[in-house]
Amino acid sequence: MKQFDLDNDPKITPGFKVPEHYFEQFEDKMMAQLPQRMKVIPLWQRRPAWIASAAAIFIIAIGTWAYFAQDTAENVVADQEYLAYESDVTTEDIALLLSDEDISAVENSLNLYHTESEAYINEYLN
Amino acid sequence: MQDEKAFIAQLLNPETQNEAFRKLLQLYQKPLYNHIRNMVLNHDDTDDVLQNTFLKTYSNLGNFKGESKLYSWMYRIATNEAISFMQQRARKQGISNEEVQQKAINKLESDVYFDGNEIQLKLQKAIAVLPEKQQLVFKMKYFEELKYEEISDALGTSVGALKASYFHAVKKIQDFLHTD
């Protein structure tokens, strides 16, 4: 059996063939692809990375703000509904937590002692 | 190349890029084809990888720092493209990279673009059973006759490790050729 000595024997080539005129055709094929690939982008169409980044940050900021704003409004309504319908907390319990000034403010805003209403009640009773 | 910086500037300039790109093709398509063909074995696959290599070269020319020669940089791109090509094929077929190589070797005998004799076919079979890195080092050193420093530049492996890889590869191939 023949003993191989790759480093000293005559070189064994890989044995590959290339189709005839392949390289000329390859050159033309690549050149034909260039106009689309190498098209110069006008300056006004170029969007640098920082513009895209700034736009993304702006959208995220607006979205976050809108989400929390909506969430806060929904929470207030939910708390009010809970206190009104679902809890065992009485009006007296709430009043205990409020100062005199707070109670006066609530009374004024609700117009509980409206003079016209008082006059009407008195008239009706008499 | 006489003035590589000037040539790269021509490739980046819309006015001169077509002519410069044709020159780039004429200069490097043959050596890069041979390198890729040694790795993927089949002509059609080599054609695909070679196209990707030139397109990637062009689209990344703006990032080329000039720290190495343009050809060394393209050679690295070609090597990476050929490796990714084989990995993708292995993933698609659900087999290992070594099995992809074995399948390619099995098809060589009936390949119209392979006209190797018995010894050449035996050598290809012997290479195909080596670990991937040893295959690559052997092909670059033995077929392409690159210096260890050039292989080191392309693969990012130390010269010492490459010498050891090549030594082991030659030993295994010779054993394979003697026994097979």
Residues A56 and A80 in one domain: yes
Residues A83 and A96 in one domain: no
Closest by Cβ to B43, choosing from A11, A19, A30? A19
pLDDT level of residue B14 (50, 70, 90 thresholds) = confident
Sign of CA dihedral B36, B98, B131, B142: negative
pLDDT level of residue B40 (50, 70, 90 thresholds) = very high
What is the length of chain B? 180
Q: In this complex, is the C-beta atom of B107 within 8 Å of any C-beta atom belonging to chain A?
A: no
Q: What is the pLDDT of residue B31?
A: 96
Residues A83 and A94 in one domain: no
Size of interface A-B (CB pairs under 8 A): 87
In this structure, is residue A39 part of a structural domain? no
Q: In this complex, is the C-beta atom of A39 within 8 Å of any C-beta atom belonging to chain B?
A: no
CATH C-level class of B1-95: mainly alpha
* A3: helix, strand or coil: coil
Place of tokens 């690549």: A30
* Distances, alpha carbon A84 to alpha carbons A79, A95, B34, in Å: 9, 14, 83
In this complex, do B29 and A26 lie within 8 Å of one another by their Cβ atoms? yes
In this structure, is residue A56 part of a structural domain? yes
Percent of chain B with pLDDT over 90: 71
In this structure, is residue A62 part of a structural domain? yes
Distance, CA of A79 to chain centre: 27
In this structure, is residue A9 part of a structural domain? no
pLDDT level of residue A77 (50, 70, 90 thresholds) = low
Nearest Cα of chain A lies from the Cα of B68 at a distance, in angstroms, of 24
User: Does the pTM of the predicted model rise above 0.90?
Assistant: no
Q: What is the pLDDT of residue A67?
A: 76
Q: What is the pLDDT of residue B94?
A: 94
Q: In this complex, is the C-beta atom of B176 within 8 Å of any C-beta atom belonging to chain A?
A: no
Residues A118 and A93 in one domain: yes
pLDDT level of residue A122 (50, 70, 90 thresholds) = low
* Contact (CB, 8 A) for B132 and B98: yes
In this structure, is residue A28 part of a structural domain? no
Contacts of A11 in chain B (CB under 8 A): 142
* Contact (CB, 8 A) for B57 and B77: yes
- Convert the pLDDT of each residue in A79-105 to its tens digit: 666 666 666 667 677 777 777 777 777
Q: In this complex, is the C-beta atom of B52 within 8 Å of any C-beta atom belonging to chain A?
A: no
Q: Which residue has the higher pLDDT, B177 or A116?
A: B177
Please count the structural domains in chain A.
Answer: 2
pLDDT level of residue A33 (50, 70, 90 thresholds) = confident
Residues A95 and A126 in one domain: yes
Q: In this complex, is the C-beta atom of B60 within 8 Å of any C-beta atom belonging to chain A?
A: no
- The token pair that represents B85 in the structure block: 């090509």
CA-wise closest residue to B170 among A114, A7, A69 = A7
- Convert the pLDDT of each residue in B57-92 to its tens digit: 988 888 887 778 899 999 999 999 999 999 999 999
- Convert the pLDDT of each residue in B152-180 to its tens digit: 988 989 999 999 999 999 999 999 988 85
Domain boundaries, position A63: 49-87
* A27: helix, strand or coil: helix
Q: Which residue has the higher pLDDT, B138 or A110?
A: B138
Q: How far apart are CA B76 and CA B70, in angstroms?
A: 10
Q: In this complex, is the C-beta atom of B18 within 8 Å of any C-beta atom belonging to chain A?
A: yes
Q: In this complex, is the C-beta atom of B130 within 8 Å of any C-beta atom belonging to chain A?
A: no
Residues A101 and A124 in one domain: yes
Residues A57 and A82 in one domain: yes
Phi, psi of A19 (to 5 degrees): -55, 150
Residues A98 and A114 in one domain: yes
- Amino acid letter, residue B81: E
Q: Is the pLDDT of residue A41 over 60?
A: no
- Convert the pLDDT of each residue in A47-71 to its tens digit: 667 677 887 888 888 888 887 776 6
Residues A94 and A126 in one domain: yes
CATH architecture of B116-180: Orthogonal Bundle (1.10)
Contacts of B104 in chain A (CB under 8 A): none
In this structure, is residue A34 part of a structural domain? no
Q: How far apart are CA A17 and CA A40, in angstroms?
A: 38
Q: What is the pLDDT of residue A110?
A: 65
Nearest CA in chain B to A2: B178
In this structure, is residue A14 part of a structural domain? no
- Convert the pLDDT of each residue in B126-158 to its tens digit: 999 999 899 999 999 999 999 999 999 889 899
In this complex, do B50 and A26 lie within 8 Å of one another by their Cβ atoms? yes
Q: What is the pLDDT of residue B122?
A: 92
- Determine the average pLDDT of the residues in B98-108: 88
Q: How far apart are CA B172 and CA B162, in angstroms?
A: 15
The ranges assigned to domains in chain B are 1-95, 116-180
- Determine the average pLDDT of the residues in B19-30: 95
Q: What is the pLDDT of residue B134?
A: 94
Q: What is the pLDDT of residue A79?
A: 67
Q: What is the pLDDT of residue A104?
A: 76
